[in-house]
Amino acid sequence: MDKLLNNIRTGLRVGNVFIIALLFFGSMSLAFAQDRKVDINFLIQETQKLEQLPDEMTLIWWIPEDFWRVSFEQNPNITEAQTEEFLKVLRAYVVVVVVNGNIGSMGGVSYKSESTIRNSIQLIDSHMNRYRPLQIEAVDADMKNFLLMMKPVLANMLGPMGENMHFYLFPPKNKAGQRIADAKKEGTFSVRFDQKEFRWRLPLGSLMAPRICPVDGEKLSGAWKYCPWHGVELK
């Protein structure tokens, strides 16, 4: 643990906030064992879409800035200023991770390449506007460095699956200047991949305070407006 904290401090001294992200992934169990306001497991479940068929598997992971903010807030060694420095880089994009592969008769997975997936993926906003992934030339240098650093981390953590998790970046706002995917505001968006559509309805319940059913006092998702059992407005 002391070695981990020393590495974090060293990373901060040299001004490389991306080291924080790498160390975060390597110490998730330590950070998340502490008391927390947001259930990180619930947040991950809400941001991931998994489709597993007998002969194919597809995982789409939308990583909103709230995921990183919640994670860093739970680590007392990372200051608010350092968190904000990191987030201002990611805030310029909608970040989507995709892994897709065909499953053989013996359970082996043949993963699709980054370019194959790139040619088949689109982001669709609530107005049905479609966006293609940004080309690497349009990506900020700091973000490029972050993505280069994340690839080996995921590969070390998850093996072949992590090695074949590809990052795709989309513009954060539509032509009217509205954010396409805001985890804490009402809205919808989807990712279309290979004739399949993966849809998110916002806000994410994991980031909202629970709401109470006035009939029986049950705590329900903060993203809900009405109790699904009694039909009454939640408090």
pLDDT in tens, 171-193: 999 999 999 999 999 999 999 99
- Are 111 and 100 in contact by the 8 Å Cβ rule? The answer is yes
For range 158-163, the mean pLDDT: 86
Given a cut of 60, is residue 35 above it in pLDDT? no
In order of 71, 116, 153, 185, 207, the CA distances from 179 in angstroms are 22, 27, 29, 10, 17
What is the three-class DSSP state of 169?
strand
Whether 211 and 222 have beta carbons less than 8 Å apart is answered as: yes
Torsion region of 99: left, alpha or beta (phi above 0 gives left; psi -120 to 50 gives alpha): beta
**Mean per-residue pLDDT for 145-174?**
89
| pTM of full prediction above 0.75 | yes
pLDDT tens digits, one per residue of 85-126: 889 999 999 999 999 999 998 888 999 999 999 999 999 999
Give the residues across from 102 on adjacent strands. Answer: 56, 110
